[in-house]
Structure 1
Amino acid sequence: MALAASVLIVPATPVNASPPSISWDVPLDHIDDDDVGVTYREGGLVIASGGGESASVRWGRVSAYQITRRTTTALVNRVWAEVAADVAVSVEVRAEIGARRWSEWRATPAILPDTTVVEVRVNLDGPGSVARVRMGAGRGERAARVSGGGYRVFATREGLVGRTTANGHVITKRDHFVALPSRRGLAPKDAGDYTVRVCAASGRCEWAPVWDVGPWNVTDDYWNPPSVRQSWTDLPQGRPEAQAAYQEGYNGGKDGFGRRVLNPAGIDLADGTFWDGLWLTTNAWVDVTYLWMVDGARGTVRTADSTLTVRNGPRVRATAVGIAANHARPIIECQVAGDTVTGTYGSTNLWNRLAPGYFVSDAYVNAGPSPTC
């Protein structure tokens, strides 16, 4: 495919960064299950036939993209990109910052936590071809530590069974995932890199991965402080733009696409999360904790089904108080001995406390060492 024009994005080393300790070309011809709606054809990365649209198209088009990983030869914290393309392209990167933990995605040139593992996400926003993406990484000013916790936001039910989410997951009946209005916290398909704990007023909670983008906006990482928030930096941390628009007339009562905001939603819940995880019957205010922003040991839930029951004690007959979705990565506060359970990872009497009064059997959680409760 011939290039009609060549567009260079971030062609120079960013200010306050050392010369690259490493540079590399992204292997655009390597397409795998992490990639969504793209293919490699005639020397370029292009949107595949039928690709580039997701269930979130109702909140605005979500890019098709390719993800690749690079292990660097030394610690880096500055990453930039040079792109040759005849299509609108954005390049985002994230850093591995510990076992089962990643920083959020950031547009290049980016300041990341110190790392030796960088993932690159090349986003295509329309027809055309990407011929080359060359990355550079070096050392410079360190990223400021960003902290966050839990916020009360309005939740709506996503539905859309049979449609495809922004990370390529096909939505099933009574599915278990959530959508947030920024792809900075969008996990790859079948991964819980970005997991939330969402709790209803009843006390029931679900630990679920972020697999879609929405509602209303696509650049509203409201869980971040204003200093690093993508858009609407005059709003306080924890306040979704849609909530401010609906309740206070912010931005003329409209979302980022100029549409009249009809509810204050800051999170969308898949049907299973909505009905089975939280026992909701209508849209409601919920408490959400964005677990990738929280320090602590974490494990990965793996079950033969889509969920793992969360109980109020380390016993198989203890009261069910919620659900941990398959692939979710909950914080493990501590472990305690209880009933022996046989599951994905064999037989064990260890139970993981995810929060006070919320326990899951370690037989279904791939976790490292945790303190004793």
Structure 2
Amino acid sequence: MGVRYAGGSLRLRADGVRPASADRGGAYGSAVLPVHDTGRTVHRVGVDLDAKTPRGTRVAVDVRGRDAGGAWTEWREAQAGSPALLPHAATAVQARVTLWGVDGDEAASPVVRDLRLTARSVPAAERAAPQQQQAAAFSATVYATREGLVGGTTANGHVIQPNDHFVALPSRRGLSPNGSGEYSVRVCGPARCETAPVWDVGPWNTHDDYWNPSSQREMWQDLPQGRPEAQAAYQDDYNGGADEFGRQVANPAGIDLADGTFYNVGLNNNGWVTVTYLWTDGGGTGSPQLNFSSYSTLSDGSNGPQVSAAQYLLNEQGFDAGTVDGAFGPNTASAVRAFQQSRGLSADGVVGRHTWAALLSAGSEPVLRQGDSGAAVERLQRSLTAALGRTVSTDGAFGPNTDDAVRDYQSSRGLGVDGIVGNGTWGALQAGR
């Protein structure tokens, strides 16, 4: 998003985007790299970065880990000589490279020439302090503002639509890849609650992960857990009443809501909401395991991790399946039927191949082709596994095998066979064809 790879280097595009919620001026771009299985348990990830950073530009490398159960840690920044300590042990790692440029000066773009990761285990005494275990995900009452900014671009590359559904939080640690709900919140307002993905960074700050225990926050470690810096600045003149950029804080906002989410929870003006940060339950993320070599038919009475995956995906699309507990009961069946009706499928409450394909592919529709990588490719690979009834490797890299699967799908559905995933192919998958 906002970057181009040419001549062996990664740099900002000439039309680089500017994140909507926390626009600080200057071009911006980010690339989420494919997942790498480590083959062993690791706790620390170091980086060796070869980059040119002209005056006023910078490059950041964030990493995260996935455990054997499929749960992701939050993102943590890794710097040369300062490896990132993951919140818990992982068996796979992923990197995100973010570039910031100078407004109106493409020549001043940072240039990334090489990036190498080193993942290793460390003695127990050197590991990151374990995240606090709790019976439920952490919740806080915070002030919400309406993001608006239709047509703008979020920090993960999503182009904001009218009546959109997502949120912005003031730290990149909980930023989901575009089209993903791996980091999601449950927002409860005056009328109802909604589960929405974190797709933007802001308001006010960009390093304020206030939902984490004070000792684990990026900044402002003297503030209590659950209190945004902007709220403390506005109410108590904390930091001289300013945010991290020195701007005077004009409201106590700790979350921005996209228009659809804002009005759906019952807000007509900015106001207080209760937010649950769903990835904070037990140190993983809000997303259960979604990648399987095959997808079983599920119905009332089914149990297990694939039921959890279906429940999570239903909730993410706004169909209330209740708690993600791996037990297929009446609430899940009702949500399945409502989802099926919305996609023009037979509303039988059974999650079969067609319903799986529609659920797994739901989200944005970026044009994908061989050579692409990232979360959208992984989502495509999952949905092809369900639609074709055969395993398509879910590694987030669009290589020859994925290209073959796309062409097979296009041919079997009467679509133009070109190996390019555009609106037609996404539309067929999302309709459960």
Give TM class, smaller chain: 0.7 to 0.9
Matched residues in 2 for 1:100 and 1:348: separation?
Answer: 29
User: 3-state SS of the aligned residue for 2:49?
Assistant: strand
User: 3-state SS of the aligned residue for 1:308?
Assistant: coil
More helix by share: 2
The reply on whether 1:122 has 2:97 as its aligned counterpart is: yes
Shift of 1:144: 2.3
TM-superposition CA deviations, 1:34-91 (whole Å, max 9, x none): xx21111222110111114221343676842211121112111110001111122221
User: Could you tell me which of 116, 137, 142 is aligned with 1:134?
Assistant: 116
Instruction: Report the counterpart of residue 24 of structure 1 in structure 2.
Output: none
Query: Percent of aligned positions with the same letter in both sequences?
Result: 47
More strand by share: 1
Instruction: Report the counterpart of residue 146 of structure 1 in structure 2.
Output: 131
Instruction: Report the counterpart of residue 110 of structure 1 in structure 2.
Output: 84
Residues 100 and 153 from structure 1, CA distance in 2 versus in 1: closer, same or farther, beyond 3 angstroms?
farther
8 Å Cα contact 1:197/1:206 also seen in 2: yes
Instruction: Report the counterpart of residue 293 of structure 1 in structure 2.
Output: 280
Instruction: Report the counterpart of residue 30 of structure 1 in structure 2.
Output: none
Matched residues in 2 for 1:216 and 1:155: separation?
Answer: 12
Matched residues in 1 for 2:92 and 2:31: separation?
Answer: 17
The reply on whether 1:79 has 2:45 as its aligned counterpart is: yes
Matched residues in 2 for 1:197 and 1:350: separation?
Answer: 26
Amino acid across the alignment from 1:236: P
8 Å Cα contact 2:170/2:203 also seen in 1: yes
Instruction: Report the counterpart of residue 158 of structure 1 in structure 2.
Output: 147
Amino acid across the alignment from 1:142: R
Shift of 1:178: 0.2
Any residues of structure 2 matched to 1:1-373 within 5 Å, and which?
A: 36-58=1-23, 63-68=28-33, 69-87=35-53, 88-97=58-67, 99=69, 101-108=71-78, 109-112=83-86, 113-126=88-101, 127-140=109-122, 141-147=126-132, 149-202=138-191, 204-276=192-264, 278-295=265-282, 298-299=308-309, 307-310=317-320, 331-332=324-325, 334-337=327-330, 341=337, 343=340, 349=349
Matched residues in 1 for 2:161 and 2:182: separation?
Answer: 21
Shift of 1:96: 1.1
8 Å Cα contact 2:138/2:281 also seen in 1: yes
Shift of 1:145: 2.1
Residues 75 and 159 from structure 1, CA distance in 2 versus in 1: closer, same or farther, beyond 3 angstroms?
same
Unaligned runs of 5+ in 1: 1-35, 315-329, 352-360, 367-373
Shift of 1:363: 11
Instruction: Report the counterpart of residue 32 of structure 1 in structure 2.
Output: none
RMSD: 2.9
8 Å Cα contact 2:22/2:205 also seen in 1: no
User: 3-state SS of the aligned residue for 1:227?
Assistant: helix
Amino acid across the alignment from 1:198: V
Matched residues in 2 for 1:93 and 1:116: separation?
Answer: 13
Amino acid across the alignment from 2:131: V
Matched residues in 2 for 1:97 and 1:62: separation?
Answer: 34
Amino acid across the alignment from 1:183: R
TM-superposition CA deviations, 1:243-291 (whole Å, max 9, x none): 0000000000011111110100000000000112x02111110110100
8 Å Cα contact 1:217/1:255 also seen in 2: yes
Number of equivalent positions: 301
8 Å Cα contact 1:214/1:267 also seen in 2: yes
Unaligned runs of 5+ in 2: 102-108, 289-307, 361-433
Amino acid across the alignment from 1:71: D
Matched residues in 2 for 1:234 and 1:62: separation?
Answer: 32
Matched residues in 2 for 1:233 and 1:60: separation?
Answer: 27
User: 3-state SS of the aligned residue for 2:232?
Assistant: helix
Shift of 1:226: 1.7
Matched residues in 1 for 2:194 and 2:47: separation?
Answer: 38
Matched residues in 1 for 2:214 and 2:187: separation?
Answer: 23
Instruction: Report the counterpart of residue 389 of structure 2 in structure 1.
Output: none
Matched residues in 1 for 2:89 and 2:272: separation?
Answer: 37
Segment of structure 1 superposing worse, 54-63 or 183-192: 54-63
Matched residues in 2 for 1:119 and 1:284: separation?
Answer: 36
8 Å Cα contact 2:176/2:183 also seen in 1: yes
8 Å Cα contact 1:337/1:349 also seen in 2: no
